[in-house]
Every structure is written in C-alpha cells, then in structure tokens.
C-alpha cells in the first residue's frame, strides 16, 4: 500500500531495523501505537488510567494516515472494523485480497 502511515512505517523500520523486512504483524503494532500516541497527546499532562480511558472513549475522527477515520466510544472499543485481507504466496510474499 502507498498509504501515508504504511510509508511512514516502512521508513521507520528501515531506519531503526535495517535488516528487518516489513510484515503485517509489525505494521499492525505500528498503527496501534500511532493511535495510542494520539490518545496520550489528547490526555496531556493529566495522565491517569481513568483519564486515558475517558479520552479514548471520546476520540472521534482520528486520522493516522490509513485513509479511514478512526473513532472510539463507551461501547466502541475497536477503532475500525475494516479488514485488509492478504494471502501469502508460495514465495512468502503478501498479496492483497480485494475484500471491498
């Protein structure tokens, strides 16, 4: 993908771990961390478990560079429900599945 967050992930991986290859597991962790960092920014210096939870539950229309807006709520603890499917070919390469 050429999404901004994916390109940033690849660049960060290249800088921090030049011998590692991009993969879907570390990309998912990278994106989850981007959402968490956004929550921390919104909490500000008044960090507590309660304040962090309340902040996440109030976060709406978060942009992290995946062309999807992410939102949370008191009953919505998963930021997005979209699935980006892939298959692993015989050479170990991830191929996107068109699940739209």
> What is the tens place of the pLDDT at every residue in 59-97?
999 999 988 889 998 988 888 777 777 787 887 677 878
Q: What is the DSSP letter of 1?
A: -
What gap in Å lies between CA 29 and CA 90, rounded to an integer?
Answer: 25
pLDDT for residue 87: 80
Among 8-17, 20-29, 65-74, 81-90, the least confident range: 81-90
What gap in Å lies between CA 72 and CA 6, rounded to an integer?
Answer: 22
Beta bridge partners of 96: 86
pLDDT for residue 92: 67
**pTM, entire model:** 0.79
């Amino acid at each position: 993908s050429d999404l901004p967050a994916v390109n940033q992930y690849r660049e960060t991986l290249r800088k921090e771990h030049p011998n590692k290859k991009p993969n879907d597991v570390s990309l998912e962790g990278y994106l989850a961390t981007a959402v968490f960092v956004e929550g921390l920014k919104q909490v500000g210096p008044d960090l507590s478990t309660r304040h962090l939870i309340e902040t996440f539950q109030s976060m709406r229309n978060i942009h992290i560079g995946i062309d999807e807006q992410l939102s949370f709520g008191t009953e919505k603890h998963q930021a997005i429900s979209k699935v980006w499917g892939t298959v692993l070919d015989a050479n170990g390469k991830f191929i996107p599945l068109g699940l739209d």
